[in-house]
Amino acid sequence: MLLPSLYALHEDKLIDPELRIIGTARSVLSDSDFRALGKEALAEYLPEDRKNEEQIDSFLRRLTYQPLDASSIDGFDRGLYS
């Protein structure tokens, strides 16, 4: 439910256009895999009157993904682009 809420802020122009949204979890995903999950969540949870393909595509371009296990300190020193 977080991504649909962030999408609404994006669509309403309430967040900076340069803001990137970085997802993280233990799962190993590519940025495109994460964006596909985001697109599925938006398709399922957005009200019909909020579904604007151009805005959705623009929002999905904000998304990046970084695998990380929060139960270990390993990886916290790794930069997003390392």
Name the pTM for this structure: 0.83
> Which pLDDT score is estimated for 10?
97
- Per-residue pLDDT tens, the chain, 82 aa: give them: 799 999 999 999 999 999 999 999 999 999 999 999 999 999 999 999 999 999 999 999 999 998 888 787 776 666 555 4
Which single residue is written with the structure tokens 């270990």? 72
Tokens found for residue 15 = 């967040």
Nearest to 67 by CA among 77, 80, 51: 80
> Which pLDDT score is estimated for 29?
93
Per-residue CA distances from 14 to 6, 8, 31, 47 (Å)? 9, 9, 24, 18
